[in-house]
Amino acid sequence: FYESWVRGRTTGSLLDLPSWVAELPVPVGFLLLAVQACADLVTLRKSSTVSLGSSHE
pLDDT at residue 37, rounded to an integer:
95
Domain edges within the chain: 1-10+17-35
pLDDT at residue 51, rounded to an integer:
62
Q: Taking the model in full, what pTM does it have?
A: 0.64
Distance of alpha carbon 44 from alpha carbon 34, whole angstroms: 15
- Alpha-helical (H) ranges within the chain are 2-7, 20-23, 25-46
Per-residue pLDDT tens digits of the chain, which is 57 residues long: 778 878 888 888 888 888 888 889 999 999 999 999 999 999 888 876 666 666 555
pLDDT at residue 15, rounded to an integer:
83
The helix/strand/coil state of 15 is coil
pLDDT at residue 38, rounded to an integer:
95
